[in-house]
Each structure stands twice: as structure tokens, then as C-alpha cells.
Amino acid sequence: MTSREIQLVRETFQQIQPAAGPLSQLFYGRIFQINPSLRGMFHGDIRAQGLKFTGMLTTLIDGLERLDRHVPELKAMGQRHVAYGVVPEHYDVVCDSLLWALSQAVEGGLTGEQKAAWKKMLEEVSAVMLEGAAQLSNG
């Protein structure tokens, strides 16, 4: 990611960070709206899952200049998600849902430039997670 893209992601995340709980509710609600069958993958308290999600997002955003440091963790997460029943097509649903939720949470919505920066980050993260998931079937 470029320094400008990193700046855009951080600025928008700082705007919504105080509302991280509502962001995760919007995010998961959108996932289930797009693909209701995914609801069955989530057991227990969705708010607890939301806290895990926003915690991971915070960690990634804090380290965007060195995203490579997160590669082992992201690959392992991709592998864990296979056990939950996640398939590659689900990554697009997650990306679209998060972009939608961010657009709702950021006052005035995301600009085109902000959305493109977030999409790039999400695509990079997804690619690493998918690589980890693929290692299960290739290993």
C-alpha cells in the first residue's frame, strides 16, 4: 500500500473507532443479509466475535507499513477459517460487507479514494489468508 492509502485507512478508522461495536454489528448484519447461510458459521455471542474482529483490524491498521509482519498470523487465520467452512467466495462477501459498514459508519460515507484504499488493504489481507487456506490442501 502507498503511504497515502495507509493514511486514508487510518484516518477513516480513527473516525469510527469510538463506534467499533456498532461497526461490527453493521458488518455482521450485512454479511448475513448478503448471504444468510453464513449465519450458521457463527456460534455464541456475535458481539464477542465483533470485538475479536475489530481488535484484529486495529492490529492490522497499526502495522500497515509492515503488513509482512502479519503474514504468518494471517495465513494461520486463513487455515482456521477453512475449518469453519469458509470458502474463497466468502472473502468477497466479507470485503463488500466491511466496505458497506464503513460507508455507513463514516460521517458522509467513504469517498472514492478512501474506499479504494480500504479495498486494497482488504484484498491484500484476503490474498494472504487464502494462501494460508490453500496450503492446507496443497500441504
**Residue 91's CATH number:** 1.10.490.10
Nearest to 24 by CA among 63, 59, 64, 56: 56
Per-residue model confidence as pLDDT tens digits over 101-132: 999 998 888 999 999 999 999 999 999 999 99
Q: Determine how many CB atoms are found less than 10 A away from the CB of residue 22.
A: 14
Q: Domain range for residue 41?
A: 3-138
This prediction's pTM: 0.90
Per-residue model confidence as pLDDT tens digits over 32-43: 999 999 998 888
Per-residue model confidence as pLDDT tens digits over 49-103: 888 888 999 999 999 999 899 999 999 999 999 988 899 999 999 999 999 999 9
Cell numbers for 103 = 460507508
Cell numbers for 115 = 474506499
Cell numbers for 13 = 478508522
> How many distinct structural domains can be found in the chain?
1
